[in-house]
Structure 1
Amino acid sequence: MTPFRTLTAEQIASLEALGNTAEDWSQVRVSEDFQPFQLQQSRLEGEVRIGSEARIIHSRVRNCQIGEGSLIEDVTALECRHRSSFGNGVGVATMNECGGRTVRIFDTMSAQMAYVMALYRHRPQTLAALERMIDRRVEERQSEIGRVGRNCRIVGARFLREVCIGDEVRIDGASLLENATLCDGVEIGVDVKACDLIAAEGARIGNGSTVERCFVGESCILDKGFTAAESLFFANSHCENGEAASIFAGPYTVSHHKSSLLIAGMFSFFNAGSGSNQSNHLFKSGAVHQSVHLRGCKFASGAYIMSPALEGAFTMVMGHHSYHHDTSALPYSYLIEKEGRSHLMPGANLASYGAVRDIEKWPARDHRKLKRDVIDFDEYNPYVTQAMLDAVNILHTLQEQDPDAEVYTYNKTLIRAASLQRGLKLYNKAIVAALGSMLDRGESNPRHNGAGRWIDAAGQYITRQAMREILDAVDRGELTDPTAVDNRFRIFDVHYDDYAHSWALQVYASLLGHTPTVGELNDAIQAGRNAHAALREMTDADRRRDCSLDMAVGYGLDCDNEEDRRRDYFAVRGLK
């Protein structure tokens, strides 16, 4: 803690000679090495503390502490007008605009903690315990003095009111920040307006974005006039131009285009095409509906979903869908509108290079330092593999019910017989690849039993049993603060490979009808490698088609021979 002292009479005289004024100089505290030139033509009001080498130029500061090495320049008002918790404890109506899933945000909130608060409304005792934890956190954060951390640069901003700012923060030209916490390394840009905000470490909000009652997670970016209200954004999400209202944006939620609306839903590892849209108001009970787009979903340009709806992991959506589908048990599918109906192509995305590219790029684009949100990137995991096993059972059941059908109906979608057959082949191949991969990593350990269903808790794969044990510990009072809760999620993640191995081993044993021998395990691992190679051969072929000369239309416009056109195409695409 920096020791502060009062100003000397000589320093006050020098400060006034430099054009500075104060409401009461006796309430101004400075570091031991303070020099009057650190303040120029500024107004100090209430209790102000100025750290070593901090500078205040052409600005008004009220009831704030300025950390060492920070610059406050041309700021209309940096002030704390009343006791504040600086955004901590603000209720965010995520997923449901009517507030049925409201999450109270705080400065160290993880995606997993938020997931529990939003999704586990059926456990009121757990929620009450978590609320008490947040109440204590809010009380700890309350102060009548705003704070600017070390080595911050705040230039050309207008009104910064009731703000707690961490170290190494940059604010350039923001219009309004009110009731906000900006954690270390946050960047706020020109014309940003934000209130009731928590911005986690390394987050960036820029270029005219408007943010109201939001949590913006670690290394997230909101830019280019993006508008967000009542929303939660977690690790590495990147949204520009469009709008978000009441969304739970899990890790890597991406929307870059104007006229795209994400509303009243849950997303993660998601990509919104231009003009993506949803509606959650059926003009009956109000805006009460929600949609869930499980990990890895993509919306093509102009895609539309009428809530409620639910898509399986890694589903690609094209067209308009208004029949309230549920395809959660059929991952890696295409959901396509044809003649006003929702047609499902099960497993089709397993043969797409786009899905492979997404899975490989996410770890490479992780810019976080703290990594508070637990994220599992594994392509082959119990959660999605269980869905594929369910999908095989569903497709076989449909087929058995009517072997001669040309089109099958499943949860408000239509599946053509040819698509069903291809889906079975793709799912079976992917299941073999997944089981082999999980058996090949981790080890058998009775303490790490991965049996039963798994869930995807905002980026973390975890067993339902482990989730239940964590929440039961909260209920019993064994976990009394958010850090303790987060640590339990992290402990599971440390042993994730062992849990996944355990799950795969039990599934493989059930398929065989007996405990597999060492030889059978080795056979399964090798079969998994072969199946993975076969899938990659399909996705590589898909990539080759996307990179073939058939896609060179429009290249080499001024070329008068095929060879130059080919060279232009290859140069632009970075191909050989």
Structure 2
Amino acid sequence: MSRLRKITAAEIAAAEKNGTTAEDWSQIAVSEGFDPAQVERSRLEGRVEIGEGARIVRSRVKNYRIGPGTLIEDVTALECRRRTTFGNGVKAATMNECGGRAVAICDRLSAQTAYLLAVYRHRPKLIETLEKIIGDYAETRASETGETGRDCRIRGARFIRETRLGDGVEIDGASILENGTLCDGTRIGPDVKAYDFIAAENARIDNGTTLERCFVGESCRLDKGFTAAESLFFANCHCENGEAASIFAGPYTVSHHKSSLLIAGMFSFFNAGSGSNQSNHLFKSGAVHQAVHLRGCKFASGAYIMSPAIEGAFTMVKGNHADHHDTAIFPYSYLMEKEGRSYLLPGANLTSYGTVRDLEKWPARDRRTVGRDVINFEEHNPCVTGTMLRAVDTLHTLRDQDPAAGQYAYGKTVVRATALQRGIKLYDKAIVAALGAMLDGGTSDPRYDGTGRWIDVAGQYITKRETEAIADDIETGALRTLEEIDNRFRVFHVHYGTYARSWAEQIYASLLGHTPTAEEIREAIEAGRNAHAAMRRTTDADRDRDCSLALAVSYGADSEDETEIRADYRAVRGLE
């Protein structure tokens, strides 16, 4: 804010003539070029600082710094009534309603740091250190005076209390915002109610949404009466109409339906169908159970899961599942329910065009400008490929135990023999495609060791070894700030392709029984391309079936002419 000075007696008289009063004019500071017309029919209480060009119209303002170019119009109260950290340091009881995984939120929180806080509870020193880092940061944000950034627009709001605004924030008709931070570019719409919250850069919270103890990440959108409590939403999430309670919503978590509930779970790149639901209360030990739905899972309409449970990445869930399944090592699967039992179709989602469409649409819909959360979009990666390798080994083991069996039991699910055999074939082809892509996608450099297990840390593919090393350095004090922690994750991300190639080289060597030659690497890359092309032919055929004229039923409703019906269908579906 530009240099401020005390308001003069002449300016006070002019302001009062405009209908503005103050509790104590000596507590009012203004910019050098202040014009009394900047305040009109308003009430100023406590310490108020008015930046260059800022306007206050028909509003009550108490203990606030108003940034240059900001407009406050028809606001019942913009006030800071006490010392506050503006939502920084508030703990959200994510994943466990009883608080066992509570994450302290702040306006510099990344998905990766939040993941460590939520998931690594087996390392109490790490949790203690991270909470202290965030607590110390929260104290640097503490003040008895609220503030707005530059060029904010606050119109028609009722109560904005103990809330800090960044630059370019817009608030239009909000009901109440209390103890929160709105980072640069945030948009808040009519009837929004939010308590103890953080909204990251360019987040949009609109149309009657209600939040309590929540973090809303960069470029997220919460809309149409969505309600959430004790939840974290990271980059590009989009939730409307429904409800969330104690969830860790990794990037691109989507829920659009009024009847959908997300509760006590971890999600990312997730899509909730209408009426999808989870239960985390077994009426014994309370609401302490959790579920993990790994990257890319989808719930069909009416899907239900009783926690605890976990599904592999990119799993489609249909029906009701109450036996606490564990299918984590079976990515790209269908989990179906029949007569009260859960049936697993390993790898079946590899043939779906919907999976291809999802993988393509996520990077295209990335609205971030800051990029605090690290996100990997790579289809072929060590994390998911590693689980496919484990899945193939497991399926072979199940089959070898009883080759004549018609079905097999795994992780509280049933795997039919035909699905098992098909799963092996699908995974084998996908593994060849993935290894080829990773060998082709990065350089070989011994400085970047990607061997060993990989994990998905809230959207980032990274080795478990590096994640543990980051945790070690936090505990020892080698990493002392949130920026230093985030930078370690980003450094790995910068060299992701080289790490991934290192992993693929090690896996390929283990399959061959020796270090691959340059010629064998070239052959693996070519085999991967061929396998990928074959898989795309399968998914393209699935797309063609979805676009076939057999699905033109109800199109051309007023026509009996087949040509017109086809023309209507193709026009609406955007088909050439």
Cα distance in 1 for partners of 2:375, 2:569 equals 37
Give the equivalent residue in structure 2 for 1:46.
Answer: 46
Cα distance in 2 for partners of 1:557, 1:54 equals 57
How far apart are residue 318 of structure 1 and its match? 0.3
Letter in structure 2 aligned against 1:406: G
How far apart are residue 442 of structure 1 and its match? 1.1
How far apart are residue 132 of structure 1 and its match? 1.4
Give the equivalent residue in structure 2 for 1:354.
Answer: 354
Cα distance in 1 for partners of 2:115, 2:560 equals 58
Cα distance in 2 for partners of 1:100, 1:165 equals 31
Give the equivalent residue in structure 1 for 2:405.
Answer: 405
Give the equivalent residue in structure 2 for 1:124.
Answer: 124
Give the equivalent residue in structure 2 for 1:304.
Answer: 304
Instruction: Show CA shifts across 1:118-169 (max 9, x none).
Output: 0000011111111111111011000000001100000000000001000000
Instruction: Show CA shifts across 1:44-84 (max 9, x none).
Output: 00000000000000000000000000000000000000000
SS at match of 1:475: helix
Q: Which runs of no fewer than 5 residues in structure 1 stay unpaired?
A: none
Instruction: Show CA shifts across 1:346-376 (max 9, x none).
Output: 0000000000000000000000100100000
How far apart are residue 35 of structure 1 and its match? 0.1
1:201-350 matched pairs, under 5 angstroms: 201-350=201-350
Moved over 6 A (4+): none
Give the equivalent residue in structure 2 for 1:105.
Answer: 105
Instruction: Show CA shifts across 1:474-505 (max 9, x none).
Output: 11111101100000000000000000000000
Give the equivalent residue in structure 2 for 1:86.
Answer: 86
Give the equivalent residue in structure 2 for 1:529.
Answer: 529
Cα distance in 2 for partners of 1:551, 1:259 equals 27
How far apart are residue 215 of structure 1 and its match? 0.1
Give the equivalent residue in structure 1 for 2:192.
Answer: 192
Cα distance in 1 for partners of 2:129, 2:467 equals 16
SS at match of 1:196: strand
Cα distance in 1 for partners of 2:556, 2:344 equals 38
2:149 is the alignment partner of 1:149: yes
SS at match of 1:440: helix
Give the equivalent residue in structure 2 for 1:419.
Answer: 419
Cα distance in 2 for partners of 1:451, 1:249 equals 28
Instruction: Show CA shifts across 1:200-249 (max 9, x none).
Output: 00000000000000000000000000000000000000000000000000
SS at match of 2:336: strand
Letter in structure 2 aligned against 1:73: E
Cα distance in 2 for partners of 1:407, 1:550 equals 34
Letter in structure 2 aligned against 1:52: E
Give the equivalent residue in structure 1 for 2:31.
Answer: 31
Cα distance in 2 for partners of 1:226, 1:135 equals 29
Instruction: Show CA shifts across 1:354-404 (max 9, x none).
Output: 000000000000001001000000000000000000000010001001101
Instruction: Show CA shifts across 1:284-331 (max 9, x none).
Output: 000000000000000000000000000000000000000000000000
Cα distance in 1 for partners of 2:327, 2:551 equals 32
Q: Which runs of no fewer than 5 residues in structure 2 stay unpaired?
A: none
How far apart are residue 277 of structure 1 and its match? 0.2
Give the equivalent residue in structure 2 for 1:458.
Answer: 458
Letter in structure 2 aligned against 1:417: A
Give the equivalent residue in structure 1 for 2:501.
Answer: 501
SS at match of 2:527: helix
Letter in structure 2 aligned against 1:354: G
User: Identity percentage over the alignment?
Assistant: 69
Cα distance in 1 for partners of 2:534, 2:347 equals 15
Give the equivalent residue in structure 2 for 1:160.
Answer: 160
Cα distance in 2 for partners of 1:237, 1:476 equals 34
Give the equivalent residue in structure 2 for 1:443.
Answer: 443
| RMSD, matched Cα | 0.5
How far apart are residue 28 of structure 1 and its match? 0.2
Cα distance in 2 for partners of 1:560, 1:103 equals 61
Letter in structure 2 aligned against 1:475: E
TM-score of the aligned structures, taking structure 2 as reference length: 1.00
SS at match of 2:13: helix
SS at match of 1:131: helix
Letter in structure 1 aligned against 2:83: R
Instruction: Show CA shifts across 1:443-494 (max 9, x none).
Output: 1211100010000000000001101111111111111011000000000000
Count of paired positions: 576
Cα distance in 1 for partners of 2:122, 2:543 equals 45
Cα distance in 2 for partners of 1:208, 1:38 equals 31
Cα distance in 1 for partners of 2:288, 2:10 equals 64
Give the equivalent residue in structure 1 for 2:482.
Answer: 482
Give the equivalent residue in structure 2 for 1:180.
Answer: 180
SS at match of 1:530: helix
SS at match of 1:451: coil
Cα distance in 1 for partners of 2:374, 2:521 equals 30
Give the equivalent residue in structure 2 for 1:134.
Answer: 134
Cα distance in 2 for partners of 1:109, 1:34 equals 37
Give the equivalent residue in structure 1 for 2:2.
Answer: 2
